[in-house]
Chains A and B, each alone.
Chain A
Amino acid sequence: MGAKKFPELDPIIEKYRGKKGILIPVLHEVQNRVGYLPDDIQKHISRELKVPLSKITGVISFYSFFTTEPQGDHTLGICLGTACYVKGAEDLVDEVKDQLDISEGETSADGTFTLTVTRCVGTCSLAPVLMVDNKYYGNLTPADISGILEKYQDSSQEGN
């Protein structure tokens, strides 16, 4: 009846074991690997690194980058920083919501996209900006959205 094991996380845990102030780097790496931070993984980290579970939960809820829900294959991050807002980024959000029938933070029914709105992603000169995973798309109008979504829908189906 032992606790659930996560051998794929061993290298991450070992790298940081015994060091100071490593909780946030560990959570970053684990989320990179697993995609999100569900309860059983939080418990695993707590046991292995001897950090109280309450602290882990507290840190995860404080930082908006961490998520406890599974994410779609691709994350759509629409920037709502000042420059993007001034250049009409809200219309992009509405367009994506319409096309995928989801709200912020939700994942599309086919599991392809999760919609998030972000703070300035640092490419204000191309405002308004949409990030798909780590790729930037700038100077967008709502009419550009469907073309971008299609690119990723196709590649998801091919299993990339």
Chain B
Amino acid sequence: MDNREVLICSGTGCLSSGAEEIEARFREELKNKNLVDDISVKKVVKKTGCVGPCSLGPIAIVKPEKTFYGKLDIEDVPVIVKEHLQEGKIVQELLIEEDGKKVEEYTDLNFIKGQKQIALKNIGEIDPSSIEDYLAQDGYQALEKVLTEMMGEQVIQEIKDSGLRGRGGAGYPTGLKWEFTANAESDEKYVICNADEGDPGAFMDRSIIEGDPHKVIESMTITGYAVGAERGYVYVRAEYPLAIENLGSALETARQEGYLGENILESDFSFDIEIRVGAGAFVCGEETALIKSIEGERGMPNPKPPYPAAKGLWGQPTVINNVETLSCVPEIINLGSSWFAGIGTESSKGSKVFAVAGDVRGTGLIEVPMGITIREVIFDVAGGIPDNKEFKAVQIGGPSGGTIPAQYLDLEIDYESLDEAGAIMGSGGLVVMDEDNCMVDVARFFLDFTQDESCGKCPPCRIGTKRMLEILERITSGEGEAGDIELLEELGEKIIETSLCGLGQTAPNPVLSTIRFFRDEYEAHINDKTCPAGRCTSLAEPYVIDPELCIGCTQCVDVCPVDAISGEKKEVHVIAEDICISCGACEEVCPVDAIYQRSNKEEGDKNNG
């Protein structure tokens, strides 16, 4: 077992499915077996950042074979130690099965195979607390190259040539942004890394900082060198305690090792970075609001121009980039702009990280080349929709984005194509929805979010989103009126035109895109007072029990959240229709399919007959 290593995924996802217990068990087992005499257990068992396929956690990868053991139980650990680590045999029974075959190497998993990792490259490979691990992956090589071989302008040119565009929202060309900042007159400039990650459904920035914090430090330092800044800030949301901790200790190590601070790598360039923790305000992800927040103020956005590149933090020229954008920088410097520009589509270069979640088998983080189709992402990489349900739509871009229906599954993803389809690339949150989701309710959900997060500075956003939300609430509770759809469209257009910042300018998107693709669903709510997906409970019809089929098992009685079902064991049960909220829990547990909704049954009968 001399050179075997066990990597335990310790991303937040796996931690909550029990990674710590698995790790402890590995250490204990190795100790008990006296396998630690000549090698330290710490070296054999290594904690890494998020490997990606969170739904397969907890995860251990054994190297050098790169064997992937997923969904681990504590009891599997001694088996792996004995058979694999000691005897050198891969434990076949513990391998994950895909398409009827056992997958040995982790790079052969469907979830990993279709990826092109640039920003995520090291994550899951290295221990985030070890700078040696980072160095072993060519870490800080780009910084060294920049400091010894390149002028600031050359760095900027390289980034411009690569075609890298912002991964945090608007997709602005990164090199141009740097150039503006570099050209702005001032001897005090700043670099800000935006790690506020506000899209509720995106978590790649968290994973990058947790799993590869030195990458962020290296990239920011390169940015500082390119634009002539000596200070940087990382603005991390307070909801990410582990990211804050890992980045904090990486900053300290980088300073000790000479990669940060005064005279970096003995050059005459000095740069240092401070962490600022957000405090739970979505609008603070917007760059001008974020800057206000770092200054210690209420995070209210300002009209642009002036852009931060001219007048940012403390009124000085400031580059502000997203975590994922920055994470592409060292790779571009190391491998060259033409390598990066060779990946992707005409307008969108490189790869993009998506956080796949919702009603889909393989949830987690994936990094795929721009230009891949939505179908490939959801069905090939992420394994499709579970429980024999139909794909209905995918929400891309969060509260600023849109909901894309099945007819767009073959759309090749890039900034422009998503825009045309009524969504946006945004940060890359990708929430998959099956047939049980109501699109009007999804629109209401996002409006509820933006209305709550509107900072209140400009009336179109503050009042307009409130009006839209009120209308959506009426529709979902069965009080929609003729003309509501048109009113939503009109309000939406106005808010987009007149809002002060990106929050308001994009807030109507989730509504407009669902109207565009699912107008019939809105009409059903308004005209027929029904929710076709059965999600809007005040519109849904109650369930009934077929007395001829009911076997009196009481399972439905037990699960009903509102105690609407009565009946003793072995007697026929009855649902009180006035109490039933149509949640469907009873239908799911009924072992004999005796529970149904009248309209569904009629439809089913029609189809069958």
* A residues neighboring B (CB under 8 Å): 20-25, 27-28, 55, 58-59, 62-66, 79-83, 85-87, 91, 94-95, 118-127, 129, 134-139, 142
Contact A64 B279 (CB under 8 A): yes
> Which secondary structure dominates chain A's binding surface?
mixed
Closest to A129 in B: B16
At the interface, yes or no: B295 with Cβ under 8 Å from chain A?
A: yes
Contact A65 B357 (CB under 8 A): no
* B residues neighboring A (CB under 8 Å): 12-13, 15-17, 54-55, 197-203, 206, 238-241, 276-282, 293-299, 314, 355-359, 363-364, 395, 398, 429, 431, 433, 437, 442, 445-446, 449, 455, 561, 583
> Contacting B16 at CB < 8 Å: which of A22, A137, A142?
A137
A80 to B276, alpha carbons, bound, how many Å?
25
Contact A119 B277 (CB under 8 A): no
Contact B431 A83 (CB under 8 A): yes
Q: Which residues of B sit under 8 angstroms from A120, Cβ to Cβ?
A: 197, 199-203, 239
> Contacting B314 at CB < 8 Å: which of A20, A25, A87, A142?
A20
Distance (whole angstroms) from the CB of B584 to the closest CB of chain A: 11
Residue of A21, A28, A85, A125 with most chain B CB atoms under a 10 A cut-off: A125
Contact A62 B13 (CB under 8 A): no
A23 to B199, alpha carbons, bound, how many Å?
26
A20 to B296, alpha carbons, bound, how many Å?
8
Contact B239 A118 (CB under 8 A): yes
A95 to B54, alpha carbons, bound, how many Å?
26
Contact B293 A24 (CB under 8 A): yes
How many pairs, one residue from A and one from B, have CB atoms within 8 Å of each other in the complex? 144
Contact B197 A136 (CB under 8 A): no
A20 to B298, alpha carbons, bound, how many Å?
15
Contact A125 B238 (CB under 8 A): no
Can you name 21 A-B pairs with beta carbons within 8 Å? A20-B314, A59-B296, A63-B298, A65-B278, A66-B280, A81-B201, A82-B429, A82-B445, A83-B201, A83-B358, A86-B442, A87-B359, A120-B202, A122-B203, A123-B12, A123-B203, A124-B431, A125-B54, A126-B13, A126-B54, A129-B16
Contact B201 A82 (CB under 8 A): yes
Contact B433 A86 (CB under 8 A): yes
Contact A135 B16 (CB under 8 A): yes
Distance (whole angstroms) from the CB of A117 to the closest CB of chain B: 10
Contact A125 B281 (CB under 8 A): no
> Contacting A134 at CB < 8 Å: which of B13, B241, B359?
B241
> Contacting B294 at CB < 8 Å: which of A21, A125, A142?
A21
> Contacting B276 at CB < 8 Å: which of A24, A79, A126?
A24
Contact A24 B277 (CB under 8 A): yes
Contact B297 A59 (CB under 8 A): yes
Q: Which residues of A sit under 8 angstroms from B293, Cβ to Cβ?
A: 24
Contact A122 B206 (CB under 8 A): yes
A58 to B297, alpha carbons, bound, how many Å?
9
Distance (whole angstroms) from the CB of A7 to the closest CB of chain B: 24
> Contacting B239 at CB < 8 Å: which of A82, A85, A122, A124?
A122
Closest to B437 in A: A86
Q: Which residues of B sit under 8 angstroms from A66, Cβ to Cβ?
A: 279-280
Q: Which residues of B sit under 8 angstroms from A59, Cβ to Cβ?
A: 296-298
Q: Which 6 pairs between the two chains have the least Cβ-Cβ distance? A: A81-B200, A125-B54, A125-B363, A63-B279, A124-B357, A120-B200
